[in-house]
């Protein structure tokens, strides 16, 4: 399938740079000192129930609107 092809292709492209990354980690900076980090990789994983399903469940709404989640009894 197309999804499988893209998954394998992405993994292959990511694997091409892996030896260079590992080689760079093995070589110590000048004088053995650790250099400060200059970049951050932020991974945003979307998924999970939306805020409407978690906060405002609307249990009395029609079935098409209220979703599959039901409210639970809490002390709040």
* Separation CA 58–CA 46 (nearest Å): 24
* Residue that wins the pLDDT comparison between 23 and 29: 23
pLDDT digits over 26-42, tens only? 665 666 666 677 888 88
In the structure, what pLDDT confidence band is assigned to residue 66 with cuts at 50, 70 and 90? confident
Backbone angles phi, psi at 2, to 5 degrees: -65, -40
Structure confidence at residue 30 (pLDDT): 60
3-state helix, strand, coil in the chain (%, to 5): 45, 0, 55
Number of domains in the chain: 1
Which residues have a Cβ under 8 Å from the Cβ of 65 and sit 6 or more positions away?
A: 58
**76 part of a folded domain:** no
**60 part of a folded domain:** yes
How high does pLDDT run on average in the chain?
76
Structure confidence at residue 25 (pLDDT): 60
Asked if 70 and 59 touch (Cβ cutoff 8 Å), the reply is yes
**75 part of a folded domain:** no
Q: Look at residue 51 and tell me whether its pLDDT is greater than 70.
A: no
């Amino acid at each position: 399938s197309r999804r499988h092809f893209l998954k394998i292709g992405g993994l292959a492209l990511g694997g091409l740079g892996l030896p260079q990354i590992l080689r760079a980690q093995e070589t110590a900076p000048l004088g053995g000192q650790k250099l400060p980090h200059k970049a951050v990789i932020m991974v945003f994983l979307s998924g999970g129930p939306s805020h409407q399903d978690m906060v405002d469940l609307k249990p009395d709404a029609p079935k098409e609107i209220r979703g599959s989640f039901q409210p639970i009894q809490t002390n709040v």
